[in-house]
């Protein structure tokens, strides 16, 4: 079996935002066999996988990555060719309020998963050992932040995490590379910029603003909204991740970004303008009037910017969606899929975590 012969992939965190996009892409677009391993925490939602839940190539296992014995059993039972590790606690605000869960899942969980994968890999034939991959999916936040007027993250940028979340992801990145250097486990690693798109959990910035604006509620923006992020449409990211696990060079990392730097305020204003164009407010007012600036969060990185040229050159990947086209598609999806977000919305993820009583 060669690397391109990978046919069964274990996706951890496959009921999450990015993980579910990966599962849908691999099953629907690529016809691969996918085993989705997810603990189903607050951000895990099997409704995001409705379109493939009855597909014979899709399998779901409700399992905690910290359960090393259970993970090893699943690897053996499904004869897995590759692991794509996306399971993580990922919300920065939550990491500030309760960092212990981030250490447990992102650091200890990754260690347990690596241990299970190493045991499984060691029992494979030499040919399958050669083609097996452990793909660890990380974030650009491990690099810290950049000045507003210069700099960009490359694969060689030193790590300088600012929040408990990014520190936990940085630690997990280092564990993954250590398992390659010490034990020879064939790993690849990717670091991505901010994702957006369908099935995004409602407490995250873009869906929060879309849904609050539709409801005529306050639109919270940290500080003065000057913080800059690079935005990547989630389905473009899913395609990139498949290329990394199939074609990525063992022991190397790949930055995945959308080449779409925007201030937080400009993101919110663009959403307001698009909604005003697509579904004008009943009272005829401009939704920009709903914007409310709130106290900045501790350790809020100023700017992220990704250089994705290595992935473009070595893997032949490029984003298909611009920020504007992707955002319009995202808004349209939320307008058409209330069945998915309404149950989550009713759990009060509408800005109260940001100090707003909307």
Query: 3-state DSSP call for residue 264?
Result: helix
Convert the pLDDT of each residue in 308-326 to its tens digit.
999 999 999 999 999 999 9
Q: Contact 84/117 with Cβ under 8 angstroms?
A: no
The pLDDT assigned to 2 comes to: 41
What pLDDT, on a 0 to 100 scale, did the predictor assign at position 251? 98
User: Which of 141, 145, 203, 307 does the annotation list as catalytic?
Assistant: 141
Interatomic CA distance for residues 49 and 40, integer angstroms: 13
Could you give the 3-state DSSP secondary structure of residue 321?
A: coil
Helix (H, G, I), strand (E, B) or coil at 263: strand
112 vs 83: CA distance, rounded Å: 13
pLDDT tens sequence across 286-296: 999 999 999 99
Active-site position among 38, 68, 140, 269: 140
pTM, rounded to two decimals:
0.93
Instruction: Give me the tens of pLDDT residue by residue for the chain, a chain 358 residues long.
Output: 344 579 999 999 999 999 999 999 999 999 999 999 999 998 899 999 999 999 999 999 999 999 999 999 999 999 999 999 999 988 788 889 899 999 999 999 999 999 999 999 999 999 999 999 999 999 999 999 999 999 999 999 999 999 999 999 999 999 999 999 999 999 999 999 999 999 999 989 999 999 999 999 999 999 999 999 999 999 999 999 999 999 999 999 999 999 999 999 999 999 999 999 999 998 889 999 999 999 998 888 899 999 999 999 999 999 999 999 999 999 999 999 999 999 998 875 444 444 332 2
CB 141 within 8 Å of CB 204 = no
Angle (nearest 5°) at CA 64 between 155 and 176? 25
Q: Which pLDDT belongs to residue 319?
A: 95
What's residue 282's pLDDT? 87
pLDDT, residue 299, reads 83
Q: Considering only the C-alpha atoms of the chain, give the largest distance between any 2 of them, rounded to a whole number of Å.
A: 68
**pLDDT the model gives residue 108:** 97
pLDDT in tens, 24-35: 999 999 999 999
Using the CB atoms, write b or e for 329-352: b if 16+ within 10 Å. Answer: ebbebbeeeeebbeebbeeebbbe
How far apart, in whole angstroms, are the C-alpha atoms of residue 303 and residue 81? 37
56-106 pLDDT, tens digit per residue, is 999 999 999 999 999 999 999 999 999 999 999 887 888 898 999 999 999
pLDDT for the residue numbered 3? 47
User: Is residue 110 classed as helix, strand or coil in its secondary structure?
Assistant: helix
Q: Distance between CA atoms of 162 and 288, rounded to whole angstroms?
A: 30
CA distance 79 to 95: 35
CA–chain centroid gap for 103, Å, is 18
Give burial (CB, 10 Å; 0-12/13-18/19+) of 297: middle
In the chain, % helix, strand, coil (3-state, to 5) comes to 45, 15, 35
Domains of the chain listed by start with CATH number: 3-196+230-261+300-321 (3.40.50.720)
Q: Please pick, among 64, 68, 145, 165, the residue that the annotation labels catalytic.
A: 165
Per the annotation, the verdict on 318 as an active-site residue is: no
Strand partners, 231: 194
Nearest Cα neighbor of 233 from 51, 17, 53 is 17
Of 135, 133, 158, 40, the residue nearest 85 (C-alpha): 135
Tell me the two tokens of residue 19: 């993980």
Q: Is 141 a catalytic residue?
A: yes
For the question of residue 252 being annotated catalytic, the response is no
Q: Bridge partners of 150? A: none
The pLDDT value recorded for residue 348 is 55
Token pair listed for 164: 């408990």
């Amino acid at each position: 079996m060669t690397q391109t012969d990978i046919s069964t992939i274990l996706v951890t965190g496959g009921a999450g935002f990015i993980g579910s996009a990966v599962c849908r892409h691999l099953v629907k677009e690529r016809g691969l066999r996918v085993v989705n391993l997810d603990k189903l925490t607050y951000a895990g939602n099997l409704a995001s996988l409705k379109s493939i839940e009855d597909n014979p190539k899709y399998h779901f296992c409700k399992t905690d990555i910290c359960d090393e014995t259970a993970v090893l059993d699943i690897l053996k039972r499904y004869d897995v060719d590759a692991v794509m590790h996306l399971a993580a606690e990922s919300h920065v605000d939550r990491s500030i309020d309760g960092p212990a869960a981030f250490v447990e899942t992102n650091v200890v969980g990754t260690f347990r998963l690596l241990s299970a994968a190493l045991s499984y890999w060691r029992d494979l034939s030499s040919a399958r050992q050669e083609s097996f991959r452990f793909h660890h999916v990380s974030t650009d936040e491990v690099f810290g932040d950049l000045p507003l007027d210069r700099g960009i993250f490359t694969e060689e940028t030193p790590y300088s995490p600012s929040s408990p979340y990014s520190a936990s992801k940085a630690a997990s990145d280092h564990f993954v590379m250590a398992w390659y250097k010490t034990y020879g486990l064939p790993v690849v690693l990717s670091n991505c910029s901010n994702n957006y798109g369908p099935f995004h959990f409602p407490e995250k910035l873009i869906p929060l603003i879309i849904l609050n604006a539709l409801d005529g509620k306050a639109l919270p923006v940290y500080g003065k909204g000057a913080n800059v992020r690079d935005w990547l449409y989630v389905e473009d990211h899913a395609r990139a991740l498949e290329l990394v696990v199939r074609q990525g060079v063992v022991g190397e990392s790949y930055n995945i970004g959308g080449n779409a730097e925007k201030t937080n305020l400009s993101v919110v204003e663009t959403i307001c303008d698009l909604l005003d164009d697509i579904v004008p407010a009943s009272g005829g007012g401009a939704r920009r009037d709903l914007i409310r600036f709130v106290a900045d969060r501790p350790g809020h990185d100023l700017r992220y910017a990704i250089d994705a040229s290595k992935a473009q050159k070595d893997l032949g990947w490029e984003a298909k969606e611009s920020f504007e086209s992707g955002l319009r598609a995202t808004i349209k999806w939320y307008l058409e899929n209330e069945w998915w977000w309404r149950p989550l919305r009713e759990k009060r993820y509408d800005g109260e975590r940001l100090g707003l009583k909307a």
